[in-house]
Structure 1
Amino acid sequence: MEPWRLFWTVFLGVLCSAEAGLMGDQCDWTGSGLTSTTERAVTPVYLRCREGSISWVYPRGALRLLFRPPLPADERDFRVCVRVIRRPDPPDLFHTLLVNDTETPERFPARLFVEGARRLVPLYAPNDGDPRELRCFRSRHGRAALYVEAEPEDGPQRREATFKYEARPLVRRHDPSTADCRPCSESELELAFCTSDLVSRGVIISSESREDLDTTQLTVRLTKLIRATSGGETKDKPDLEDEDDYYRYDTDNTLQHPHRSHKRRRSPHSLHAHVHVPAACGAAAGAGEFLVMARRRLGRYALVCAPRLDDWERVVAARDADGAAHCTLQH
């Protein structure tokens, strides 16, 4: 009998009497398999946000993740994407191109199964031959559950099953997870400027196919960083004097805090960022300066809109003339 079928059979037999462990009811969940006294324990975790992360240290037994994201009243079904983390992410912004994307991926110590009508459907396994670390599935009748089954222990070494998830309505406005690759309208450009995690003028200096993420990774040299929200601790984060969640740079990319004197500056450095585009879009490096707008999705910047700078300047001029902009537009 195949291992995942065996697990399904065992699970049916022990569900009623399994140790539940600690339940989650939030965006993120962190737990340890050391709290389980049996390898057949199933821990239920309730996730009621559109995105978040799971960190399972010393995985043992299984988790049952039940997704219940907040949705508009007229939208019932949704799509869940899960990205397993096998190596550290590079920083959001970095000065050197020698970032940690070159680290050797570690083996993910668990397998993922989607709960179907009558069986578990394999979604991810370390040895399934599929290099993608990003896997997606759809809800059924407004419900979606994912089983995370720990692989057998192999010695006393520390293991950690970490992954990020995102749950989005099936019908959605233009956003990073839309793969139609169409240009943004003027209203979408304005919305993207006001709401994106990264807004910067920049030059695309290289593109790389990322088969593991099913994306094209664009490396952007930033020429004027207008806004960047912090994504957490990183190894190569630009040197900051405090823990503000918001940073602003001058045109020469020297760091300034919004409420401090402009006379205090650091030595200028070229800043770069990786921005991801769905592989189906066929994006590539191009000449000229763009206004790059991206949102953080599953731990990485995902491109929302990238108009050429002269096109964006025309949009700003038109919005300034009619005074209808939702926020203060810049270029």
Structure 2
Amino acid sequence: MLSPFLAFLLTVAILCRIAVSQYSSDQCSWRGSGLTHEGHARDVEQVYLRCSQGVLEWLYPTGAIIVNLRPNTESAVAASRLSVCIKPSSESSGTNLYLDKAGKLRLLVRDEEQAAARVHCFGIQQGALFVEAVLHQDISRRITAFQYELVPDLPGSNSLSAPCQPCTDAEVLLAVCTSDFVAEGSIVGVQEEVEEERSSVTVSLTRLHRQKTRVFVSGGGRAKRWTGRVKMPRQCGVKPGEAQGEGEFLFTGAVRFGEAWLGCAPRYKDFLRAYKKAEILGTNPCHVDTD
């Protein structure tokens, strides 16, 4: 016969196992069902993910879930400099997405906006992701699904707080060291992507210092050049034709869901001036080959 203490531990273990079995999850992705909330529509479930990227899928959403996203790192300083980017599936529906900061909610994406599959980013310190089910008569076809990525909070990268802000010299030099891509080149075209509320900038590169993934491709030939597209919010004001033929730029930025997003992009001569000055003062955060 089990002692009262052992019986208590066994009961707790069984209950914990039942709670875990209701949802399938790992450190990177989560898949759950709102049917476990049946009869408890006001339930709020906590979800913890510890990866740089992954997928969340919530079938038949009822109640709400709070998604806590953190990198798999022990450095609190490094974590505080990250942004979270989410991209809903084009078939995602059934919930509104909020940012939850100390119990205060700020709307991020409405239910009807998720089908546009746009990328939404926010600083990791702005709060957890609060996913609240919208009441529907029929939830059988409602599935909320999105990809997420944790990306460095790069200087000049577009965010909800301050998109399109000019970069200081210090921010430019830091962006060169921390960006997913760094390249020299010129703008050859700008295309407005109205439905996505962004601009797609076609660039021709004379020098590719670094790229995290293959977002720029070589055109071959003796005079080796690379081409590709970088994205930016429409409110940044880059118009077709206006930015073409204006000389060389230094392009930096982040890669999000396989697309290059522009961060700091000074004229190359301005970057070179700032770099040479910092080199004399010994304040450059990293070395760049400018020869």
Report the TM-score when normalising by structure 2. Answer: 0.63
What corresponds to 1:21 in structure 2?
23
Q: Does 1:133 align with 2:133?
A: no
Give the drift of 1:296. 1.9
Match of 2:35 among 40, 46, 59: 40
Note the alpha carbon deviations across 1:256-308, whole angstroms, 9 max, x for none: xxxxxxxxxx8876532221222221123332111111112354322111111
The structure with the largest alpha-carbon Rg is: 2
What corresponds to 1:83 in structure 2?
87
What corresponds to 2:244 in structure 1?
286
Q: Does 1:190 align with 2:173?
A: yes
Q: Distance in 2 between matches of 1:168 and 1:226?
A: 18
Contact 1:45 1:64 in 2 (8 A): yes
What corresponds to 2:202 in structure 1?
219
Give the drift of 1:133. 2.1
Contact 1:134 1:214 in 2 (8 A): no
Q: Distance in 2 between matches of 1:53 and 1:153?
A: 23
Give the drift of 1:129. 9.5
Q: Distance in 1 between matches of 2:150 and 2:133?
A: 16
Q: 1:61 to 1:191 in 2, by over 3 A?
A: same
Q: Distance in 1 between matches of 2:124 and 2:273?
A: 42
What corresponds to 1:262 in structure 2?
none
Q: Distance in 1 between matches of 2:283 and 2:125?
A: 41
Q: 1:61 to 1:290 in 2, by over 3 A?
A: same
Counting only pairs closer than 5 Å after superposition, residues 144-223 of structure 1 correspond to structure 2 as 144-147=129-132, 152-153=140-141, 161-165=145-149, 174-177=156-159, 179-223=162-206
For the residue of structure 2 that corresponds to 1:305, the secondary structure is coil
Q: Distance in 1 between matches of 2:88 and 2:249?
A: 31
Q: Does 1:66 align with 2:67?
A: yes
What corresponds to 1:322 in structure 2?
281
Q: Distance in 2 between matches of 1:324 and 1:122?
A: 38
Q: Distance in 1 between matches of 2:224 and 2:69?
A: 44
Q: 1:118 to 1:72 in 2, by over 3 A?
A: closer
For structure 1, list consecutive stretches of 5 or more residues without a partner in the other structure: 1-15, 87-107, 239-251, 255-265
Q: Distance in 2 between matches of 1:327 and 1:182?
A: 23
For the residue of structure 2 that corresponds to 1:40, the secondary structure is helix
Q: Distance in 1 between matches of 2:261 and 2:193?
A: 13
Identity %: 23
Higher helix share: 2
Contact 1:132 1:211 in 2 (8 A): no
Contact 2:97 2:108 in 1 (8 A): yes
Give the drift of 1:60. 3.4
Give the drift of 1:195. 0.8
Q: 1:181 to 1:118 in 2, by over 3 A?
A: closer
Q: Does 1:277 align with 2:232?
A: yes
Q: Distance in 1 between matches of 2:284 and 2:115?
A: 45
RMSD across aligned C-alpha pairs, in angstroms? 4.7
Q: Distance in 2 between matches of 1:330 and 1:151?
A: 57
For the residue of structure 1 that corresponds to 2:189, the secondary structure is strand
Equivalent position amino acid for 2:208 in 1 = L
What corresponds to 1:243 in structure 2?
none
What corresponds to 1:123 in structure 2?
109
For the residue of structure 2 that corresponds to 1:313, the secondary structure is helix
Note the alpha carbon deviations across 1:122-177, whole angstroms, 9 max, x for none: 93445x598462456899995542257996459xxxx99442355999xx964432
Contact 2:56 2:145 in 1 (8 A): yes
Give the drift of 1:82. 2.7
Contact 2:250 2:265 in 1 (8 A): yes
For structure 2, list consecutive stretches of 5 or more residues without a partner in the other structure: 1-17, 38-44
